[in-house]
Structure formats: C-alpha cells, structure tokens
Chain A
Amino acid sequence: MSDTILNVSDLHASYGPLSVLRGLNFEVNEGQVVVILGANGAGKTTTLRSICQMCDTEGSITLRGTDISSKGTADIIRLGVGHVPQGRGTFAELSVIDNLLIGSYTRSDDGVQADIDRWFEMFPILAERRDQLAGSLSGGEQQMLAVARALMSRPELLLLDEPSLGLAPIIVEQLFETLQRLNKEDGLTMLLVEQNANLALSMADHGYVIESGLIALEGSAQALMTDPAVQAAYLGA
C-alpha cells in the first residue's frame, strides 16, 4: 500500500454565488497517475483549481497529510505541486527561456540549467525558439512550454488540465509518452484531466468520472475502460 499524496474529502467549490463542486472525495497515491474524466462544465478544471486554492472552497484537502485548504496558491506550489492550467498560462510577453526560469522560481539549487537542457531535449522546438516571445508560439508549442514550465519546479504532484487540447495527434502521442516516462522513471505523481479518455486511461492507474460537481464513478483505469457507461460517454464505443 503506497502513501497518499493528495486526499480530497467533501470538497465544495464555488465562484461567488455559483456552486460548482458539491462534495467530491478522491485521493492520489504516490507514483500514481490518476485521471479525472467528465463532460464540459462538469467541474474538472474547478477541481484542479480548488487544489491550488484558486477559487472558494470548503472541505478538506491534504497534501501528504498537511491541510492546504487555507493556504495561499503560491504556498501550495512551494509545497511541491505543479499545475499546467487549462489555457496554458503562457507568459506571452516574455521569452521562452524566461518562461522556463519562472517555472524554476521556487528553487534555489543549482540544477536549473540541467533541467532546462533536459526539457529542451524533450521538446526540441522550444530550444529552437528559446529567445522568441512565448506569445508568438503556436498553441501546441505553448502547451509543451506549459508542461516544461511546470516541470521546472520539480513538483512531487503534477496537475495537468487537458494537456492534449489543441495538439496534433502525433504531438499528443509524444507528450503522453513523455509524461508516462516521467511517471515510470522519475516516479512523478500526476492528476490528469483529459478529454482524450482513451489515451488518459491507458496510462493511468485509477480514474474518477465527475458529473455536475459529484463523483459519478470511480475505479481502476482498466475497470473504467471496460465500463459500458464510460465507453458510451467518453470512449466513443
């Protein structure tokens, strides 16, 4: 039995008067890839944003046993959470290399350059564009930059919000291969929100399906892949 990195219980979240999450319970264990599926507007993004306290939440969220539900966003990041937001979070007016350096903002060790080299090797197009303004990258390139930037902080837990959005199929495949390698080789724990359910479940250990702010279904990735309801709704079977 592996350690629990993230535990969320009875999570409610709202934007002002609009309540979006209505009591979620889930957890992510060390070294796992956990996927969250759900229709548009189900509350997937809100779930990830809640973990980083980017919206009003109630309920308990613990990171390695520490309650983080009353901490500020920046402090939660410093505790080892990386977040690739939906919409990519590009620093458009800054260069690609500056974007990566921002990713390493919370670090003070001297391995930053080595990490930059590593992600440049993984995403060669970023190396080619290192001094270009990030806002001038294509959508797919910005998505790679978002992943690389989040990884620059050497997170223990990486939250990914639809990383495949807007990417060409071949790039999506490469990206997921990369993510899988990070999981297997570096033991990076991930909480992944994805529309591409097939791909996501194929690399995940466990999954949850959110419907209108509640967990409608949960199970091992294999079980979900063969679940008729999931197949009908998300796998196009």
Chain B
Amino acid sequence: MDLTLLLQRLFDAVFNGGIYASLALALVIIYRATGRFNFAQGEMATFAAFVSFLLLTGPRPFLRGGSVVGLIPGVPWPIPLAVLGAVLFGIVSGAATERILIRRLERKPDIASVNVTIGLLLTLNALTAELWGTGGRFFPAVFPAGPDDHLLIGGARLRFTSIGVWLTLLILVLLLVLLMQRTKPGLAFRAMSTNRASAELHGINIGRTLAAGWALAAGIGALAATLSANSVLLEPSMMLRVLIFSLAAATLGGLDSPKGAVVGGMIVALSQTLVPAYVPFVGNELSLLPAVIMMLLVLLIRPAGLFGTEQVERV
C-alpha cells in the first residue's frame, strides 16, 4: 500500500469532514430543541452563502439583489466581513423561520414538520435558482487556497483551507459548549430540550429559546456554506449532498451530541474517500454508500449513536 497516497486521502477527507461536521452541528441543535430534523438546513445555508456573495460583489448588472445590497455601507465587503454577513443573515432568518413557520407546527404530528422542512428545502432551492440561476459561481476562498498553501507531511499535502475549516469548527464547538454549559440561555436551552413542560414551569420562555436555537443553527449552517462554496462552486444545490452526509454524521454521532456531530462528520468523510479507493466494487459515484450503510447500522444496533444520550429516566 502506498502510504503517502493513504495519507493524502486522509488529508483530502479533512476538509469535507469539517464541513459535514459543521452542518451536522446545526442539525443536532435543532434536533435537541425540537426532536426533529430540519431538512432545509442545507438550503437555508446556501441562501445565506448567496447573500454573502452579493455582499462580496455589490451592485452588478444582471445580479438580482445586488442593488439592494448596494445600499449597505461599504459594500462590496472583503471576504471575512461577507462571511460574517452571511452568518448574521443566517441568524436572523433562522429565528424568523422558527417564528413564522415552524412554531405553527409545534403541536402537529412529526410528519407535518418533516413535510414542511422538505417543502422549505425545495422552495428555497427553487427560489435560489430563480433569483441567481443554476450555474456555478466562483466564490473566493476564506482561507489561503493557492497552490502552495499547504503543509507537507510525509509527502502528502494538508491544505491550509482544511486546517482553517477545522480550527473554525473547533472554536465553534468550544464556544457552543461554553454557551450551553456556562450561560443562562444555555441552561434554558438544555432544560427545554430535556423537559419542555417543566422548563416552562420554571419561567423559561419556550418560544424565545426555540427561536434562539434556530438562529444559532442557521448561523452555523451559513458559516459551513460560505466555507465550502469555494471548493464546490456556489450554486443552488451545493449543500444537498452535504446535507445527506451531515444527516449520516449526526445519526452516527448520536443525534443530540455536538461531540458526536464532529466525530461523525469526520468518519463519514473518511468513509467517502477511503471506501471507494480501497474497496474494489464501490466506485466513486457510490461514495455516498458507506455513509448510508453506516447510518443504517447505527440505527439498527445503537440508535443513540456513538455519543448520544440513552434514556436514563426512571418511572
């Protein structure tokens, strides 16, 4: 076996792993808050990435929304600010989505919310295509991504963008853990996700806490989309595959565990790179297969996932 090649394949998985982990983190937050998946998480993120694109380019002929964005001071913005803009847009639109749409489904059966978030996925996808077309657009790299921007380890290249994505992810997880474990809103969120009726009986405003959860998740999703837009090109369906991989990652890690989302994201990305490379009958086109199979196995063998909470409540 060519060790350098193996190392290179591992390094290649790092970037995707970070992106899957980030979106999985967003899915996990919503799952903890509501016990449901937000299937539109990826498309919401894509939309935010397009907003970021507008902020980067400013008013241009044939670019819808450009003139609106042009009213914002300083536009066109440099890339770090534009990423921040996408995150802010994600936060605001995430909270708005919860308030306007999701809250109405609170007391409806699970299937209603599944249908609505899938509906939202399709609608946002179509809206994005309608507004900005289906062609891929160049989106600048957030971290240095030139031909020489990498570390050489054992003959294999670990790109700065991969390192950047993981640093971002680790800081994100750290902040998230601090937020959840050390702050009052975090305590409210954990209380709500453990026992909603009881949380309300302690004065916790459920609506506000839910909206905050959606805001947080959408902000993280927006970050994931802007970080990956350079490598996949910005286009309406860019997060669709990512969503599938992230669903697998979240399931694998345990639907309610941030740590699980991160580890799950990496495992899924590794399986996507390594399995087609070393298992003869799985071609590159089937790179989704190992992730889906792992997800299935986890659901059958250990539904709580690698790091998820198993029920401990006594009656």
Contact = CB atoms under 8 A, between A and B. Distances in A.
Interface of A: 52, 54, 72-74, 77-78, 83, 85, 89-94, 98, 101-103, 105-106, 133, 135-139, 142, 149, 153
A136 B313 CA distance: 6
A90 B313 contact: yes
Given A73-B201, A74-B204, A153-B202, A90 B312 contact: no
Interface of B: 184, 187-188, 190-191, 194-195, 197-206, 309, 311-315
A138 B312 CA distance: 11
Contacts of A103: 202
Contacts of B188: 102, 105
Nearest to A52: B201
Given A93-B312, A103-B202, A135-B313, A54 B190 contact: no
Contacts of A98: 187, 190
B203 A105 contact: yes
A133 B197 CA distance: 19
| Central interface residue in A74, A77, A89, A137, by most chain B CB within 10 Å | A74
Contacts of B202: 77, 102-103, 105-106, 149, 153
| Central interface residue in B190, B203, B205, B313, by most chain A CB within 10 Å | B203
B271 to A, nearest CB: 30
A78 B203 contact: yes
Contacts of B206: 74
Nearest to B195: A91
Nearest to B309: A93
Contacts of A149: 202
A230 B205 CA distance: 41
Contact of B187 (A77, A101, A137): A101
A38 B198 CA distance: 24
A106 B203 contact: yes
Contacts of B194: 91-94
| Central interface residue in B194, B197, B309, B315, by most chain A CB within 10 Å | B194
A93 B206 CA distance: 18
Contact of B198 (A89, A139, A153): A89
Given A77-B203, A85-B198, A149-B202, A102 B191 contact: yes
Contacts of B197: 54, 85, 89
A136 B190 CA distance: 17
Contacts of A106: 202-203
A94 B190 contact: yes
7 contacts: A72-B205, A73-B201, A74-B205, A92-B313, A93-B190, A135-B314, A139-B315
A74 B200 contact: yes
A94 B312 CA distance: 10
A115 to B, nearest CB: 14
A140 to B, nearest CB: 11
B304 to A, nearest CB: 12
Contact of B195 (A72, A89, A136, A138): A89
Contacts of B195: 89-92
B260 to A, nearest CB: 14
3 closest cross-chain pairs (CB), A and B: A89-B198, A106-B203, A77-B203
A93 B196 CA distance: 12
A133 B205 CA distance: 24
B201 A85 contact: yes
